[in-house]
Structure 1
Amino acid sequence: MVLATLAVGYFILTPGDYAVLGRSAAYAAGGLSNFFFLRNTGYFNAAAETMPLLHTWSLGVEEQFYVIWPLLLVAALRVSARWPRLVPALMGALILASFAYAVQKVGTNPKSAFYQPWTRAWELALVFIPAAWTGAISARLGDLLKLAGLLAILAPILLLTAQSPFPGANALAPVLGTALLLLPTPAPTRMARVLALEPLPFVGRISYSLYLWHWPIIVLMRHYQNGARLDLAWGAAALVLSILAAWLSWRFVEQPFRHMRPAPRLSIGAGALTAGVVAAVGLGLFFSGGLPGRVSPQLQAMGSKDRMWGWACPQHVPEGPAKGLCAAGAPWASAGTRAIIWGDSHAEQLMPMLDVAGRQADTAIALFRACPAIIEAGGIRRDFAGIPTYNEDCRASRAAVLALLKAAPDISLVILAGAWPSTAQNLYRHPGEAVGFEAGRRLLLEGFDDLMPRLAAPGRRVLVMADIPHWASDPVPCVVANDGSLLRAPCTRTVNRLAPPDYDSWQRDVNDVFRSMRGRYGDATIAIPADALCGPQSCQSIVEGEFFYYDLDHVRRNLSPAATRALAERLGLADLLRGGEPRVAGPRADK
């Protein structure tokens, strides 16, 4: 399955995605997939759902459990000879400890809770209990228990959502349900007879192979479809192809190997050799950068998230309260103006352009990478799924920035940038309060009302940067498809301009909030990139022949020097650093 996925990926995947696939294949060969995906899924990694071998994380957890649990059982058997009652107590304590750790971890670090073997051990251990059950169960009680088990498995499917904490307590029902279904009974129950009806036994026979094949097939189809969700026809094709591949694997791989009786040394040697070959191929793909020679130079520059975001910091602040921060533009020690830009990745994306503009305007700009500046301003918080400690972290970073500014009166320009449109959609003040567009617009303005006076100091200016125009969905897959280097479905979207319906309409409302700020905070400058990049009908997405978007709402940081300079000029960044007025595009911006 892994080698077949690597073979198909050669024709479909960009160099970055192919390199990641190769590395994940090497981890899968070693039974360590869960640790790979723990470290390589997140905000600036490829989305987990686009990784063809993501499903092998559970095999990694299972293999790790099968290494450790037997050792514990052997130790328990030795102890049981002297203290027979101690063994169940110790095993129960281990299960409870793992469960408690999972519950605690899912509240503080959900991704770690999902992939770690220690937070999953209780699930596998609990299902072992039926195998050790020796009590008598009547047929009627068995039927009731099996029915309860089935309902416990089905209930989470209906009740849990993508935002539900998992595993933790929410995994308890399906795990207990599985244990009840596996509970041995003296005679076949009604549930057993139902589960014996075709095609359920057939699905059971091929289930392991079906699990192995279904996810790579779905993900590779989505890559072929340029990231689109599979419609009914493609979904049906994925189902048929998965079942066919699973049956072939079961018939010609599983069954023959299951009935072979090779010597243990031969089995171990063959397994190690196979794993070694897979790991070697995977690592070769990873260290080659995903075989970039397969694609055009344009796609080589855009074929990896890491590459598109790559930018070498030109200098670091040598001393003072901002010591150690990455700085762009004029040399910090001799710059006529010292500035700090405060914000998230949407502030980071501006650094290559600010480096060009800062040298033109004799301004050095230090980056304080933190939450959007309005989080925790006047008690305003953000509902940020996946990071339970987000607001607490933002409170700490906000305090650090304000303390730095208080201690550094030589910083005469503060630049605020952030993911304002997405931030505004999830703002609230009190737990349980509704979030959304209406509340977001109001709280965005109130957050700035609280923040701006705190930035004031003699001789200090504030420049607020609204965000670049957002696409409604990621345009990069369409750029990849249009390039023609890879086997992809034709893309019907227009990506050489950003125009309705692709232009995020919510961002227009947020930009109106920023326009209302002009004159509200004294001489603070409010710059709206859409005013500089967009005409009445559409916005730029290409400069100096280069598509400049990283995804739906970030600018690439690896643009050529000419493209970086041209985009900085189009945004009027040098003039803004000097205190000039924001740039506004003319009618030709649509051309």
Structure 2
Amino acid sequence: MTALSEAPLPALDKQPIHPKYRPDIDGLRAIAVLSVVAFHAFPSLIQGGFVGVDVFFVISGFLISSIIFGSLEKNRFSFLDFYTRRVNRIFPALLLMLAATWGFGWFSLLADEYTQLGKHIAGGAAFVSNFVLLGEAGYFDNSAETKLLLHLWSLGIEEQFYLVWPLMVWAAWKIRVNALILIVLVGGISFALNILNVHSDSVGTFYSPQTRFWELLVGSLLAYVTLHKHQHFQIWREISGQTARNILSITGLTLLATAFALTTKSNQFPGWWAVLPTLGAALIISAGPSAWLNKNVLSSRLFVWFGLISFPLYLWHWPLLTFARIINSGTPSIEMRCSAIVIAIVLSWLTYRLIELPLRNISSKVRVVFFLAFMGAVGTIGYITFTSGGLTSRPTVQNSKAINEQFVATTGWKYAKNDTCLTRYNFEYAKTLPWWFCSTNRDQPPTTVIIGNSYANHLYPGIIHATPDATVLSMGTCDAGHIVNAEFPGNPCSLDSPKRQNEYIDNIIKSSGTVKTVIISGITLVDDESYAEKLSSRISYMDKLGIKVVIFVPHFTLGYNPRACFARPFKSPEKDCKFGLVVRERLLHIFNGLAAKITKHNPNVLFYDQNETFCSNSGCSMVIDGMPAYRDEYFHYSEYASDQVGKNFIKWAEKNGVKLD
């Protein structure tokens, strides 16, 4: 058998070379998919179950590379045939899942939820979900558990590998470069990027193809070794005895079990941790179908059955679990999660039996044209859903339009920044930050400045609406009391970033000469001397300029998603967003200690309790006039709540001699 760097044999057949079917690999697929499903449904049961995706990567790299290497050596490789087979394998189940998710979302999702689903459908149809998710990652990102197509990130990685790897191998074969060199070179670079970047950019390392390709290339290396074991790896003959094969498979299973048990979300993953599942999967595959574990366990009917439906099961399980989370505004009951998994298994079997198998008997060319057209249509519908703001004409949205309009995905909060502010205050350093608040209501020097984090910015609409004559500037990203923080990769408030931001904002306040009042909000609720001193230093700077400083008492938050307080399709309200005055008293007790420390250094500072808007003598409610006080799961004010707080603050400001205009 010739190596890929040698001259090809004369063409005998145009059909590509496919590796012999191995039921044990389907069994390994079963372990991979069941671990992922178990982790998503019961994360405390198998905390490292998500590494099942890495097992899939190795399997995919092994099978695809086996086809490419074998076909090239027999002069039977065809790009058209290769990609045709990929379309026929992947598109049927994926199209069905995307269409069904969009269809159920029509009846069950609110505008912002459906908008995000449309975006992710478009990304999934184009196989760039990993890039879409990477672009969303950050402070304003909603939790992963509410993203209906989050799981398609791994499919994006695989498809990008399928696009790039055959071209690279074919080019290497054409110029007579040994494929082993290519595997080691590309895989080594990918693994090095993974190790180098996982600490500084864990999210980017997780979703980026260049830092995950090495896992598929582990499978490619195994494919090359298997194909050339008699020519280039004489040692293979010495270790290929039954005992050695059993040791390989048992060692591989042990590594997988270790990965499932020890890998957690808090680990820097993939990094070195990803070596456990990838090496484990590679050892199991390398042991061959005759190893005891592979032959008697992985090749058993139950494991093979789950392996055969593993792809549709991976596709179906996550949307079902996520719909349950969204509709319940939180983690669904154990019974509901179990039901979702049972439904996913049934749907997967039906997809395999009624969609995937029958379609194999239809002309390949006809199927490809149909699938490509259908995928284009689904992607277009998703994009239209995204750009139209979630198709707000749907009855689901119209039936509670006023309430639903208050729920805004944090990425869609229109008051975070505007062009007027960004043009007037061109802070070059802010361009390097993942988020930066910069909004002003007119192109003039400010009379009122709001500083702090997102809990300061959410006051901005209420204040500009209540004081139309004031020129209000909302700027910043970090807690006003933070000067230098610990390193938090990807966080704009790491290291000396808060100090640099504070200096820029302070310079605006000083140079304008027009600022009458500075509002500080979003401070940390701690009775701490060091923190109080940092805040006091900031306040003293304003005080020396003759500027009145008002600190807002931290606002209430809940221990559950505020959407749970409102009816939605298929669900009545589970919560009422109400609580007793004892919660307010507890909050004020902590804050009063901090306020006393600040006042000791800054006797002119004023404090405003924004929670008065939500409380009466009988208790507190985060539903005002039937409207939600929060716009998202992170307890940022809705525009309606911001307006109510703004109105009450202006009344208080007038009584206390605080001028905003």
TM-score w.r.t. structure 1 length?
Answer: 0.81
- Displacement of 1:403 after TM fit? 4.4
Aligned to 1:342: 451
Aligned to 2:414: 310
- Displacement of 1:3 after TM fit? 0.8
Pick aligned residue for 2:190 from 95, 98, 105 = 98
Note closer, same or farther for the CA distance 1:286–1:190 as it changes in structure 2 (3 Å cut). Answer: closer
Aligned to 1:429: none
Aligned to 2:573: 491
Pick aligned residue for 2:599 from 519, 529, 537 = 519
Note closer, same or farther for the CA distance 1:173–1:573 as it changes in structure 2 (3 Å cut). Answer: farther
Pick aligned residue for 1:209 from 299, 303, 312 = 312
- Displacement of 1:96 after TM fit? 1.3
What does 1:35-46 correspond to in 2, within 5 Å? 35-46=131-142
3-state DSSP class of the match of 2:175? helix
Aligned to 2:460: 351
Q: Is 2:407–2:630's contact at 8 Å kept on the other side of the alignment?
A: no
- Displacement of 1:130 after TM fit? 1.6
Give 2:628's aligned amino acid: F
- Displacement of 1:108 after TM fit? 2.2
Pick aligned residue for 1:262 from 328, 348, 363 = 363
Give 2:604's aligned amino acid: D
Structure 2 CA distance for aligned equivalents of residues 253 and 51 of structure 1: 26
- Displacement of 1:45 after TM fit? 3.5
Deviations 1:101-132 (A, max 9, x none): 12233222222222111111111111222222
Structure 1 CA distance for aligned equivalents of residues 594 and 613 of structure 2: 14
Aligned to 2:162: 66
Give 1:171's aligned amino acid: A
Structure 1 CA distance for aligned equivalents of residues 495 and 261 of structure 2: 30
Note closer, same or farther for the CA distance 1:396–1:97 as it changes in structure 2 (3 Å cut). Answer: farther
Note closer, same or farther for the CA distance 1:253–1:565 as it changes in structure 2 (3 Å cut). Answer: closer
- Displacement of 1:21 after TM fit? 1.0
Structure 1 CA distance for aligned equivalents of residues 373 and 131 of structure 2: 22
Deviations 1:298-341 (A, max 9, x none): 244135426973348596498799999955578735x7xx3322
Aligned to 1:10: 106
Structure 1 CA distance for aligned equivalents of residues 471 and 651 of structure 2: 13
Whether 1:569 aligns to 2:647 is yes
Q: Is 1:321–1:407's contact at 8 Å kept on the other side of the alignment?
A: no
Aligned to 1:332: 444
The unaligned stretches of length 5 or more in structure 2 are 1-96, 230-235, 431-436
* Stretches (4+) displaced over 6 A: 317-325
Q: Is 1:130–1:184's contact at 8 Å kept on the other side of the alignment?
A: no
Task: Report the more deviating stretch, 90-99 or 237-246.
Answer: 90-99
Q: Which structure exhibits the higher relative contact order, with contacts defined as CA atoms closer than 8 Å and separated by 6 or more residues?
A: 2
Aligned to 1:121: 213
Structure 2 CA distance for aligned equivalents of residues 7 and 412 of structure 1: 53
Pick aligned residue for 2:350 from 235, 240, 248 = 248
3-state DSSP class of the match of 2:266? coil
Note closer, same or farther for the CA distance 1:207–1:399 as it changes in structure 2 (3 Å cut). Answer: same
Q: Is 2:510–2:545's contact at 8 Å kept on the other side of the alignment?
A: no
What does 1:545-560 correspond to in 2, within 5 Å? 545-551=626-632, 554-556=635-637, 558-559=639-640
Q: Is 2:453–2:476's contact at 8 Å kept on the other side of the alignment?
A: yes
Q: Is 1:357–1:573's contact at 8 Å kept on the other side of the alignment?
A: no
Note closer, same or farther for the CA distance 1:388–1:158 as it changes in structure 2 (3 Å cut). Answer: farther
- Displacement of 1:466 after TM fit? 2.5
Aligned to 2:481: 374
Q: Is 1:106–1:168's contact at 8 Å kept on the other side of the alignment?
A: yes
Give 2:645's aligned amino acid: L
TM-score w.r.t. structure 2 length?
Answer: 0.73
In the comparison of the two structures, how many residue pairs are matched?
Answer: 539
3-state DSSP class of the match of 2:260? helix
Root mean square deviation, CA, Å: 3.4
What does 1:536-547 correspond to in 2, within 5 Å? 537-543=618-624, 545-547=626-628
Whether 1:466 aligns to 2:553 is yes
Aligned to 1:534: 615
What does 1:412-491 correspond to in 2, within 5 Å? 412-418=516-522, 420-421=524-525, 441=528, 443-479=530-566, 481=567, 486-491=568-573
- Displacement of 1:37 after TM fit? 1.5
Structure 1 CA distance for aligned equivalents of residues 482 and 524 of structure 2: 11
Q: Is 2:145–2:322's contact at 8 Å kept on the other side of the alignment?
A: yes
Whether 1:177 aligns to 2:177 is no
The unaligned stretches of length 5 or more in structure 1 are 425-439, 582-591
Aligned to 1:193: 296
Structure 2 CA distance for aligned equivalents of residues 25 and 320 of structure 1: 37
Note closer, same or farther for the CA distance 1:70–1:114 as it changes in structure 2 (3 Å cut). Answer: same
Deviations 1:508-567 (A, max 9, x none): 5543344434632221112232255434552243445533321355444533xxx75543
Q: Is 1:149–1:179's contact at 8 Å kept on the other side of the alignment?
A: yes
Task: Report the more deviating stretch, 305-314 or 284-293.
Answer: 305-314
3-state DSSP class of the match of 1:108? coil
Note closer, same or farther for the CA distance 1:543–1:478 as it changes in structure 2 (3 Å cut). Answer: closer
Structure 2 CA distance for aligned equivalents of residues 533 and 498 of structure 1: 10
Q: Is 1:2–1:278's contact at 8 Å kept on the other side of the alignment?
A: yes
Q: Is 2:330–2:560's contact at 8 Å kept on the other side of the alignment?
A: no
Structure 2 CA distance for aligned equivalents of residues 576 and 126 of structure 1: 69
Note closer, same or farther for the CA distance 1:508–1:219 as it changes in structure 2 (3 Å cut). Answer: farther
Q: Is 1:34–1:56's contact at 8 Å kept on the other side of the alignment?
A: yes
Structure 2 CA distance for aligned equivalents of residues 307 and 91 of structure 1: 40
- Displacement of 1:384 after TM fit? 5.1
Note closer, same or farther for the CA distance 1:574–1:50 as it changes in structure 2 (3 Å cut). Answer: same
Structure 1 CA distance for aligned equivalents of residues 422 and 180 of structure 2: 60
- Displacement of 1:42 after TM fit? 3.5
Note closer, same or farther for the CA distance 1:322–1:35 as it changes in structure 2 (3 Å cut). Answer: closer
Bigger helix fraction = 2
Identity of aligned residues (%): 24
Whether 1:76 aligns to 2:172 is yes
Give 1:150's aligned amino acid: L
- Displacement of 1:487 after TM fit? 2.1
3-state DSSP class of the match of 1:467? coil
Aligned to 2:331: 229
Structure 1 CA distance for aligned equivalents of residues 311 and 125 of structure 2: 17
Q: Is 1:543–1:567's contact at 8 Å kept on the other side of the alignment?
A: no
Structure 2 CA distance for aligned equivalents of residues 160 and 508 of structure 1: 41
Structure 2 CA distance for aligned equivalents of residues 276 and 505 of structure 1: 57
Structure 2 CA distance for aligned equivalents of residues 101 and 321 of structure 1: 33
Structure 2 CA distance for aligned equivalents of residues 388 and 328 of structure 1: 21
Q: Is 2:408–2:631's contact at 8 Å kept on the other side of the alignment?
A: no
